[in-house]
A and B are shown apart, each in its own frame.
Chain A
Amino acid sequence: MTPDPSSPVRAIPLVLFAIFVAFWSTLDVASGVPLAVLPSVLIALALLVRALWGVKE
């Protein structure tokens, strides 16, 4: 049941992650816990590595 490759639905997981990063990173910095951003950075790095060097679908 894979959606059409051009369907915007396929981008939703990345949108969800972007919402997570935007909301929590803003809150982390604003509330004085900037180091709490680190986990998001680690996940984003893993996604970047996969996008750049991962197996092509």
Chain B
Amino acid sequence: MTTEILLLATMVISAILAAVHSLAVRGARDTLWLAVTGVTFGYLFPFIDINLFGHYTFHGHLTVLNFPLHLGFSWFALYYTAFCLGEYLVGHLQKRWLVALVSGLIFGLMEAQWDPTLLNLGIMELFLPSFGDYPWNFNPGIPFCHAYFGFAWVYAYLLFQDTPRFGLALVLGAATLVLWPLGVMVWVPVLEPIYMAGKASLGPGVRVVLDLVHLGLSFIVTGIVGAWFLRFLARRLARPAA
């Protein structure tokens, strides 16, 4: 319980600091976009996940009361940290997709740090099927999905920040973030029999590689589709309202 309270306190403090920085550097409108999409998605994703696919995926100990705190604040604060680090590392190259990609990969790495610990402590449970058997059911490919979230969030912001139809962009940008969980979770029931068959016939090394390839490829494919969709929306939204 103490760990959870410390976690919440850290995330709330981080979210406040992120908001202070964003207000100073990006202004009130952009901060609103980033906070609303980050917090909304932090809430929306587990809601969809647990209600539609809870049998296959995760969250033994996250309750409805905890969603906004655990996931909303933490996702805004941690996405924002990854975004700023991505800007610092490659922002000078003036390529929006690259800033988004590096920010996403940093967010994936951060997620790869906290997932095993939360799983080990029993604060979270994962049930995503995989070819291999890992401690606490942690699938090493899972950070790729968080990398996609970070990528899509940053790319949507960078593409939409100058659009005249800001409210619409805000809603559509948040909706794009759901591409991955829907894409992955919809096919999980289909893939589960394949996973079970593979477990019996493949060596341990092959299983790890297959898990990394599966979710790594998903990252690439969903990233390309998501990026194309966001660019399409950005072009449409750039036109003046009729």
CB-CB contacts of A18-57 with B at 8 A, as 1s and 0s? 0110011001100111011111101100110010001101
B21 to chain A: closest residue by CB: A12
B90 to chain A: closest residue by CB: A50
**Does chain A have a CB within 8 A of B241?**
no
CB-CB contacts of B57-86 with A at 8 A, as 1s and 0s? 000000000000000000001101100110
Q: Which residues of A contact B89 (CB under 8 A)?
A: 46-47, 50, 54
Task: Sample 11 A-B pairs with CB under 8 A, ordered by A number.
Answer: A3-B24, A13-B81, A16-B81, A17-B85, A28-B113, A28-B116, A31-B117, A31-B121, A33-B116, A33-B120, A47-B88
Q: How far is the CA of A37 from the CA of B110 in the complex (A)?
A: 9
Residues A20 and B24 in contact, CB atoms below 8 Å apart: no
Q: A13, A32, A39: which contacts B113 (Cβ < 8 A)?
A: A39
Chain B, interface SS category: helix
Q: Which residues of A contact B26 (CB under 8 A)?
A: 1
Q: In the complex, what's the smallest C-beta–C-beta distance from B24 to chain A, in angstroms?
A: 4
Residue tally, chain A, CB below 8 Å to B:
33
Residue tally, chain B, CB below 8 Å to A:
33
Q: How far is the CA of A35 from the CA of B116 in the complex (A)?
A: 9
Q: Which residues of A contact B92 (CB under 8 A)?
A: 54-55, 57
Q: How far is the CA of A23 from the CA of B117 in the complex (A)?
A: 11
Q: Which residues of B contact A1 (CB under 8 A)?
A: 24-27
Q: Which residues of A contact B109 (CB under 8 A)?
A: 39-40, 42-43
Residues B25 and A3 in contact, CB atoms below 8 Å apart: yes
Q: In the complex, what's the smallest C-beta–C-beta distance from B124 to chain A, in angstroms?
A: 13
